[in-house]
């Protein structure tokens, strides 16, 4: 893969920024796509990889900065404009029509006409057979896509882009996530054939070994910023990990002088598995224990299965298998209401959509999950409810002048405290927090972490999902790592390092799971 000279740049992104309300997803990022090469883009969750690719593919538009193809400045208002310039994208999330046939999916919006108004389905079927044979997946063109397993559907997604006549750049966002090892090698063969024809590939993957095998150039993003770029021949996996991790932020560390062997186990999960529609597993034989007063962290990349653990415990995934034990008793999980009654409380990742009722005031949002505690026949014991709301506001330091104000009048940090307060008012034994610090500022994060520590010190047990390395290192007594639905590590004390967390979070992508 080594070159004697730097290859031609077919697309150049210069100082690209993308600003959403309340966040800067990309901050002055520059990126070269080299002609006829595999250009790898890598970074942790939220690094800005997919946002940059969406801008290049015309799905999103840059807030600042410029794109160039050769010497020509370009701007894509939509996917059609990007496609007209020879840019195709294979999405991480399959973008198919499950109720249509294979050939109809492959030629959707790229139909060949027959006569003034007809469609040349004979050509579509013939080309579908040719391209699927090339991908070593000779699937009947008439097969309904929804009847295929996920790996086969992934190949259909890839085939859709390979029929583009004037393809210059192909963006592949996690194209191997649902493929077997054999299918991955077929894809790599196709990729090398494409690069030999002068087609450039932009490749996003969580599989570090894959990157070293197929990549030519690597660009690392972190927190929406460009960190470094290098030729694959000049680096190794440890270089990639170090660039991804960086120095990070500093948060107060949780005390380490607790002998957990003396604490009772309040929650035990044994061989938790969750099947994936179309084949494979969202979770596969995941086991762990949670002690009284412990904060157990769950770390992993997007799609690792972290949220699915919470959903299974809370009764939102009745198709799961395995055992969940509360204080040694095996639970038959039937509904979320039943789990709340047993002492579980969930703080969801998306507070706006799943945690708050935006038409209700602050106080009513706080008491929403515990209203039955204040019911007297068909009436509410309003004084008791109001007193409990006031106590919760004081206990977790929600900054509010009047609890009857609209919930949206609060800052993001205080809205998050309301969601936590709503869970606490159900008097839980176990608190499940999914990305509790997402979208709030550093001061609010510190407040949330202090609240979590107070809960743990009082005997409450916490399960915490976080994508931020420094955060989870600071707040967790112990950390389990998920990768591709598999538990790949369990770390405590001095074992918890950023390098170990990152390496374990990629490890499961090298394991093929079948059901």
pLDDT in tens, the chain (515 residues): 444 567 899 999 999 999 876 668 899 999 999 999 999 999 876 688 888 999 999 999 999 999 999 889 999 999 999 999 999 998 876 789 999 999 999 999 888 998 888 899 999 999 999 999 988 888 999 999 988 877 788 889 889 888 887 889 999 988 876 676 777 888 899 899 999 999 999 999 877 878 899 999 999 998 889 999 999 999 988 888 888 877 545 565 666 678 888 899 999 999 999 998 777 889 999 999 999 999 999 998 877 899 999 999 999 999 999 999 999 999 999 999 899 999 999 998 877 778 899 889 999 999 998 888 888 888 888 899 999 999 999 888 888 888 988 888 787 778 888 999 999 999 999 999 998 887 665 567 778 888 899 899 999 999 999 887 878 988 899 999 999 899 999 999 889 998 899 899 888 665 544 44
pTM check: above 0.85: no
For residues 31 and 219, the answer to whether their CB atoms sit within 8 Å is: yes
Total tally of structural domains belonging to the chain: 1
In a domain, 159, yes or no: yes
Q: Which residue has the tokens 């186990």?
A: 265
What pLDDT score does 252 carry? 57
- Which is nearest to 418 in space by CA: 462, 372, 365, 373? 365
In a domain, 40, yes or no: yes
CATH number, domain with residue 98: 3.40.50.300
In a domain, 291, yes or no: no
Give CA angle at 187 (186, 192), nearest 5°. 100
In a domain, 253, yes or no: no
In a domain, 234, yes or no: yes
In a domain, 182, yes or no: yes
Beta strands at 486-492 and 295-299: parallel, antiparallel or unpaired? unpaired
For residues 423 and 337, the answer to whether their CB atoms sit within 8 Å is: no
Write the CB contacts of 436 (distance below 8 Å, at least 6 apart in sequence).
Answer: 347, 416, 420, 448, 452, 464, 466
End-to-end CA distance of the chain: 37
What pLDDT score does 18 carry? 92
Domain holding 169, by residue range, is 9-245
CA atoms of 441 and 413, how far apart (whole Å): 7
- Which is nearest to 281 in space by CA: 245, 321, 246, 247? 321
In a domain, 460, yes or no: no
For residues 187 and 196, the answer to whether their CB atoms sit within 8 Å is: no
CA atoms of 264 and 274, how far apart (whole Å): 27
In a domain, 78, yes or no: yes
CA atoms of 97 and 102, how far apart (whole Å): 9
Beta strands at 295-299 and 344-347: parallel, antiparallel or unpaired? unpaired
């Amino acid at each position: 893969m080594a070159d004697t000279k730097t290859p031609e740049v077919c697309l150049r992104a210069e100082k690209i920024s993308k600003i959403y309300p309340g966040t800067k997803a990309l901050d002055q990022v520059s990126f070269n796509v080299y002609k006829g090469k595999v250009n790898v883009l890598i970074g942790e969750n939220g690094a800005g990889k997919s946002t940059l690719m969406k801008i290049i593919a015309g799905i999103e538009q840059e807030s600042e900065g410029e794109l160039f193809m050769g010497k020509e400045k370009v701007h894509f208002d939509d996917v059609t404009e990007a496609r007209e310039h020879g840019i195709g994208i294979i999405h991480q999330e399959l973008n198919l029509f499950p109720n249509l046939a294979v050939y109809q999916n492959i030629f959707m919006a790229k139909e060949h006409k027959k006569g003034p108004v007809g469609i040349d389905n004979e050509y579509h079927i013939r080309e579908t057979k040719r391209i699927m044979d090339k991908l070593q997946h000779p699937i009947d063109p008439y097969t309904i896509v929804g009847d295929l397993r996920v790996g086969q559907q992934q190949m259909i997604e890839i085939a859709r882009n390979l029929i583009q006549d004037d393809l210059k750049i192909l963006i592949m966002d996690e194209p191997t996530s649902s493929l077997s090892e054999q299918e991955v090698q077929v894809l790599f063969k196709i990729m090398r054939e494409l690069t030999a024809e002068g087609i450039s590939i932009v490749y996003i993957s969580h599989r570090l070994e894959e990157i070293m095998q197929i990549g030519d150039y690597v660009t690392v993003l972190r927190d929406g910023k460009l960190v470094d770029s290098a030729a694959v021949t000049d680096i190794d996996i440890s270089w990639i990990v170090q660039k991804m991790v960086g120095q990070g932020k500093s948060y107060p560390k949780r005390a380490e002088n607790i002998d957990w062997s003396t604490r009772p186990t309040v929650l035990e999960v044994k061989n938790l598995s969750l099947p994936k529609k179309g084949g494979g597993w969202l979770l596969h034989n995941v086991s762990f224990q949670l002690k009284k007063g412990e904060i157990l962290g769950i770390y992993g990349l997007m799609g690792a299965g972290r949220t699915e653990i919470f959903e299974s415990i809370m009764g939102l995934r009745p198709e799961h298998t395995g055992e969940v034990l509360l204080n040694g008793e095996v639970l038959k999980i039937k509904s979320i209401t039943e789990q709340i009654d047993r002492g579980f409380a969930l703080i969801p990742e998306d507070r706006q959509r799943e945690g708050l009722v935006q038409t209700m005031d602050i106080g009513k949002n706080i008491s929403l999950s515990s209203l039955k505690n204040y019911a007297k026949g068909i009436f509410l014991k309003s004084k008791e409810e109001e007193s409990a709301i006031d106590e919760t506001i004081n206990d977790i330091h929600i900054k509010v002048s009047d609890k009857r104000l609209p919930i949206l009048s609060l800052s993001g940090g205080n809205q998050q405290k309301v969601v936590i307060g709503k869970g606490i008012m159900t008097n839980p034994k176990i608190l499940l927090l999914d990305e509790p610090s997402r979208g709030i500022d550093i001061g609010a994060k510190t407040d949330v972490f202090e609240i979590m520590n107070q809960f743990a010190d009082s005997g409450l047990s916490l399960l915490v999902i976080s994508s931020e390395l420094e955060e989870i290192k600071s707040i967790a007594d112990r950390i389990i790592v998920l990768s591709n639905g598999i538990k790949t590590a369990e770390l405590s004390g001095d074992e918890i390092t950023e390098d170990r967390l990152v390496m374990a979070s990629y490890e499961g992508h090298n394991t093929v799971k079948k059901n």
